[in-house]
């Protein structure tokens, strides 16, 4: 049981903040969840094993010290671009980390005390106040053929947020660093109603072999998994990423899937609203799939970052995620409108507990305070 929040679980509103690479902050139902922590900066090199390295091309939207208090971390696998030396040094070692059994064993040797290793289809359950979070390991394949034996095991993750009455309010699927393979077809058979999917793309290539989904496989994943909305991540951060986001955007348009995809640049947040019928028991037997999750119907806003790299694509240029999102207004997907605001999540006043468990001020350098648009969120 995680510590309860004072004001209870908010099942109506949620958000996904894109830090960079495969690192996001998921906030929903009172939980704050970090994925695949990668906080190296542009020019830093990451070790991929067997003497191979890759140089980072972007900066994270915020530094690890600026993270809000976390409930847990979801880690797809133990590679340097998904759990880097900064995370190893500065994350709270008592933070629960849901990952593969291989990664969990390695993390324990590094001094982390609460990793939970899962086999495919196994589930870890967390409770916080009135909310329950079930995280189930999904099948993943990081390389073709025998090469997969040389790479660390990888998993996708299915996050199910449930009410006290065990109604599933939201399903979020994170692919992890996988290629398209036959076992992925089992996911929609077991979980036919997935609201949001985070797709690890980039078409990572080492020695000419592809290790993560490229543009075409990303589109195939959308068709196979059938999420109501898909958000591509892990697409432009390292020199080994060979399939740029523009290729995926082109493939999405060719497949007629524009209304199903939301694009985020580093430092942007996707906010969504979950209909009451999904989480508020009204005595009429509503199923979890009765209504789709709705994005917030509000205009995007921007902010002046406290650092030169926040809310940019890492080279000082503001990304195109907002304009891409506005182009989707009126689309179907999980609702009729898309809303972004370009800022990290709101930080409580005064001080708060950072990733290393220490109290740090809310307005320190390297963080930015979100200006929420007026309206329902």
pLDDT tens, position by position, 335-376:
222 222 333 333 333 333 345 443 322 222 222 223 232 222
Mean pLDDT score across all residues of the chain: 77
pLDDT band at 150 (very low <50, low <70, confident <90, very high): low
Query: Has residue 222 been placed in a domain?
Result: yes
Query: Has residue 61 been placed in a domain?
Result: yes
Query: Has residue 246 been placed in a domain?
Result: yes
Beta bridge partners of 73: 34, 97
The predicted model gives 115-143 an average pLDDT of 94
Please report, for the domain that includes residue 167, its CATH number: 3.60.15.10
Query: Has residue 328 been placed in a domain?
Result: yes
Query: Has residue 95 been placed in a domain?
Result: yes
Query: Has residue 7 been placed in a domain?
Result: no
List pLDDT tens digits, range 59-118: 999 999 999 999 999 999 998 889 999 999 999 999 999 999 999 999 999 999 999 999
Residue 44 has a pLDDT of 95
Q: Which residues of 88-116 are buried (b: 16+ CB within 10 A; e: fewer)?
A: bebbbbebbbbbbbebbebbeeeebebbb
DSSP state of 237: S
Give phi and psi for 224, each to the nearest 5. -80, -45
Whole-model pTM: value is 0.77
Query: Has residue 366 been placed in a domain?
Result: no
- Whether the pLDDT of residue 255 is over 70: the answer is yes
Residue 151 has a pLDDT of 75
The predicted model gives 124-146 an average pLDDT of 89
Cα gap 181→144, rounded to integer Å: 9
- Tell me if 126 sits within 8 A of 159, measured CB to CB: no
List pLDDT tens digits, range 289-303: 446 666 653 333 332
The per-type count for the chain, helices as H runs and strands as E runs, is: 7, 21
Domain region containing 192 = 13-361
pLDDT band at 200 (very low <50, low <70, confident <90, very high): very high
Cα gap 98→182, rounded to integer Å: 24
Query: Has residue 6 been placed in a domain?
Result: no
Cα gap 339→214, rounded to integer Å: 26
Cα gap 237→38, rounded to integer Å: 10
Q: Are strands 97-100 and 115-118 parallel, antiparallel or unpaired?
A: parallel
* Number of domains composing the chain: 1
- Quote the tokens at residue 315: 């080279």
């Amino acid at each position: 049981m995680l510590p309860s929040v004072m004001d209870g679980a908010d099942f109506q509103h949620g958000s996904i903040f894109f830090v960079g690479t495969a690192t996001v902050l998921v906030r929903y139902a009172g939980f704050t969840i970090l994925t695949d922590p990668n906080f190296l900066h542009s020019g830093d090199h990451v070790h991929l094993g067997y003497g191979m390295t890759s140089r980072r091309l972007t900066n994270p939207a915020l530094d690890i010290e600026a993270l809000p208090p976390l409930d847990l971390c979801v880690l797809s696998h133990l590679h340097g671009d998904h759990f880097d030396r900064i995370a190893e040094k500065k994350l709270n070692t008592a933070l629960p980390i849901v990952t593969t059994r291989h990664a969990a064993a390695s993390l324990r040797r590094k001094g982390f005390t609460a990793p939970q290793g899962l086999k495919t289809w196994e589930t870890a359950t967390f409770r916080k106040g009135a909310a329950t979070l079930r995280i189930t390991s999904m099948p993943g394949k990081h390389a073709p053929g025998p090469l997969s034996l040389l790479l660390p095991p990888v998993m996708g993750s299915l996050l199910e947020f449930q009410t006290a009455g065990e109604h599933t309010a939201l399903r979020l699927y994170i692919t992890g660093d996988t290629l398209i393979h036959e076992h992925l077809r089992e996911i929609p058979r077991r979980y036919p109603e997935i609201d949001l999917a985070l797709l690890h793309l980039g078409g990572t290539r080492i020695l000419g072999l592809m290790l993560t989904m490229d543009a075409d496989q990303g589109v195939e994943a959308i068709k196979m998994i059938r999420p109501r909305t898909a958000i591509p991540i892990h697409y432009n951060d390292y020199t080994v990423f060979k399939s740029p986001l523009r290729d995926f955007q082109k493939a999405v348009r060719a497949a007629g899937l524009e209304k199903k995809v939301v694009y985020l640049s580093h430092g942007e947040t996707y906010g969504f609203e979950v209909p009451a019928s999904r989480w508020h028991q009204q005595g009429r037997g509503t199923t979890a799939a009765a209504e789709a999750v709705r994005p917030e119907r509000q205009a995007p806003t921007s902010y002046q970052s406290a650092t030169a790299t926040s809310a940019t694509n890492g080279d000082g240029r503001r990304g195109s995620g907002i304009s891409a999102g506005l182009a989707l207004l009126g689309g179907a997907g999980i609702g009729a409108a898309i809303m972004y605001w370009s800022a990290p999540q709101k930080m409580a006043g005064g001080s708060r507990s950072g990733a290393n468990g220490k109290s740090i001020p809310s307005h320190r350098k390297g963080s930015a305070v979100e200006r929420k648009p007026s309206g329902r969120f």
